[in-house]
Copies of this chain bind each other. A is one copy, B any other.
Amino acid sequence: MTKGIITISREFGSGGRLIGEEVAKKLGIACYDKNIIEKIAEQSGLSPEYIAEKAELSPRKGLFAYAFSGRNTAGKSVEDIVYEAQREVILKIAEKESCVIIGRNADFILKDREDVLNVFIHGNLPEKTERICRLYHVDAAAAENMMADIDKRRMTNYNFYTEQKWGKAENYTLTLNSSQLGYELCEKIILACI
């Protein structure tokens, strides 16, 4: 399989972003993560700070409340406007260059292309907790709250906009448990698929 684009979906704390960055570095291609925000801001006319908060993460409420609140007369919420801009940006990037895209439902947005490798990285609670404590200087309880909160908001956003279930094997070309396999082996496996 020859793939030009790699999408990395990931649980918070699983090291998915890091693995994606390393893969991009080894392939000599761009990795789009937070650096995509400026592009989405430009496309939508909204501020980068606002995009950073809204893109990919749904508000802290359930899917049902999310689906029906804050919509304008055209039935569009600000989240919809952000999502539409994000979609346009990702489609344009994919058209232009080989790259790694972290998160942002890129697997679904690019589903009509043949040259996309969709990866989901997840991990075990103890390893993810340890990593978050170390990176964010928080205790284990705070780390577990962060994980629950961020993964829930990612999942809500994904399930709402894609009508697929976040973390289900069938959405991805491959899924990897980074706690069991280790980051280096995850990188090697992804590179072997290119």
Contacts and interface: CB of A to CB of B under 8 A. Distances in A.
A169 B164 CA distance: 14
The copy count of this chain in the complex is 2
Contacts of A180: 1, 117, 173
A174 B173 contact: no
Given A189-B189, A192-B189, A192-B192, A174 B181 contact: yes
A177 interface: yes
B181 A193 contact: yes
Interface string A179-190: 011100100110
A117 to B, nearest CB: 8
A83 interface: no
Interface string A87-127: 00000000000000000000000000000010010100000
Interface residues of A, number: 22
A123 to B, nearest CB: 9
A120 B177 CA distance: 12
A49 interface: no
Contacts of A1: 180-182, 185
A114 B138 CA distance: 29
Contacts of A167: 168-170
Interface of A: 1, 117, 120, 122, 167-170, 172-177, 180-182, 185, 188-189, 192-193
Given A172-B175, A174-B177, 20 more contacts: A1-B180, A1-B182, A122-B170, A167-B168, A167-B169, A167-B170, A168-B168, A169-B172, A170-B177, A173-B176, A173-B177, A173-B180, A173-B181, A174-B181, A174-B189, A175-B175, A181-B193, A185-B193, A189-B189, A189-B193
